[in-house]
Amino acid sequence: MVLGAAGFVGSAVLRELARHPIRLRAVSRRHTPAHDARADIEVVAADLTRPGQMAAAVAGADVVIHSWPTSRAPPPGASPTATPSPNASTSA
């Protein structure tokens, strides 16, 4: 599963993975017609800032590749002064 599959990095990752005989799921906020051309790619619309959508999008995935851009801006509805939990994980 590739999060951010419609973006520059995500679409490149998806193209490379599509060369292999594996099941793929492309997840992005916006619909990309290029994904429709491949019957072997499951296309899912979901927004990273909406936990309910993401829970459904990742359900059943064995591997998740996160190529969605991150931001230091707080999520919608969060306090602009909110700080991450000291127990929160970070990614490289």
Split into its structural domains, the chain has a count of 1
- Does any domain span residue 87? no
- Does any domain span residue 75? no
pTM score over 0.75: no
Whether residue 32 contacts residue 11, with contact meaning beta carbons closer than 8 Å, is answered with yes
34, burial (CB in 10 Å: exposed 0-12, middle 13-18, buried 19+): middle
- Does any domain span residue 89? no
Range of the domain at 40: 2-66
Higher-scoring residue by pLDDT: 5, 85: 5
pLDDT single digits (tens) 5-44: 888 899 899 989 989 999 999 998 876 666 566 677 888 8
- Does any domain span residue 90? no
pLDDT single digits (tens) 41-75: 888 888 888 888 888 888 999 999 988 776 655 56
